[in-house]
Amino acid sequence: MAPTKTHPDFSIFIPTYNRAHTLARTLKSIQDSTYNNLEVIIIDDGSQDNTIDLVKTWQVTAPFPITYAWQENQGKHAAHNHALKLARGKLFITLDSDDSLLPDALKQLWKYWENIPQESREKFAGVAGICLDEEGRLSGDPYPKDFMDSNYLDIFRHYRMNGERREALRVEVLRKYPYPRFPGERHMRPTLILRRMAHEYMIRFTNTPVQINRHAPDGISANRFNYRFRNPQGFTLYYQEEITLHREHHLPKQLFRLHIQYLRFALHARIPIDEQKCHCWKRHWWYMALPKATSLYILDILKAKIRGIRR
C-alpha cells in the first residue's frame, strides 16, 4: 500500500450494504485511476455478507489508503454523515458499491477545480461531472457548455436537464450541511443538501464523464416507491423546503405541483393540518392542493397494501 497522504486531494466515499459481489469491481476501478492522490472511505451499512473480509484484503494490497467502518443499518445518508467525519481529503466524491470510476475522471475534475481562480474558490462548493450507463452511453442530458459556473437550483431551473450527475465537493463545505435524520427512516433524497448549499455556494458543472452507474434490482432506483412510502418524514421535509426555502426558484405551476407532493407526504407523516397550512405559499393553496394530494395518499396506501409493503 502506498504511504498515507495526510491531506489527499480526493476522499472517495463508498457506501455499501451486502455488496461484496460488486465491491471488488468498484475498488479495481479506483486502482485503475490515472490520479492517485486519494483515499477511500468505505462505510458498511450493516452488511451480513463477507464485505469485511474483502475489504481487509484490499487494505493490504491497494495502492491507496482504505478506511473501513461498520454501522448498524441506517441508510446511505447516515453513512454519508459518518464518512465526512473520517474524511481527510479536499474534495469528497460518492461512488456507490456497484458503480465504477472512470480512469481519467479525478484528473479532469481536479483540473477544473484548479482552474477556478484562487480568489474565487471560497464561493465554490466544488465541481461536478456527468455519468454513463452500463453501455457507456450518457445517462441523461449534457450541460449546454463544457463547463458552467452556477448553483444547483439555478442551473436546473434554466436548463431542465435529466439524468444522473456526480459531484466532487469540498469536505469543509459538506460538513456544514449534514443530512437530517428521522428515527426509523433509512433514506433521504441526496439532492436535499445540494439544494440547501445552493443559496451560499456555486458549483463548476462540467461534461466530464465521472462514473459508470449500475442499478441493482434491490437498489434505490428500482424500488423508488418502497423508499418513498417507508420514509415519509424525509420526503415531507424535502418538499417542504421546495415550497419554502427554494420557493423563488420555481414557476407558479411547478410550485403548485410541489405543494401537492408536500401535502401527500405530510399526510403520510401525520403532520398536523395547521402546520401544513403554515408551510404553504398562500393559505388557499392548501385547500386547492388537498384533493389531489389526498387521492395520491390513498393510492399510495392501496399500492403498499397490494405489494405487502410496511413501514
Task: Show me where the domains of the chain are located.
Answer: 10-221, 231-305
pLDDT on residue 5? 55
Predicted TM-score of the model (pTM):
0.94
pLDDT in tens, 90-109: 999 999 999 999 999 999 99
* Percent of the chain at pLDDT exceeding 90: 90
pLDDT in tens, 181-227: 999 999 999 999 999 999 999 999 999 999 999 977 776 766 889 99
- Beta 147-150 vs 100-101: how paired, if at all? unpaired
Residues 6+ apart with CB under 8 A from 225: 300, 303, 304, 307, 309
Name the strand (E) or helix (H) holding 70.
Answer: strand 66-70
The span from the CA of 300 to the CA of 279, in Å, is: 23
> Which set of grid coordinates corresponds to residue 206?
462540467
Q: Extract the runs of DSSP E, i.e. beta strands, from 133-267.
A: 147-150, 165-170, 202-212
pLDDT-based confidence at 3, cuts 50/70/90?
Answer: very low
pLDDT on residue 33? 98
φ/ψ (deg, to 5) at 256: -65, -40
What class, spelled out in words, does domain 10-221 have in CATH?
alpha beta
**Residue whose cell numbers read 436546473:** 156
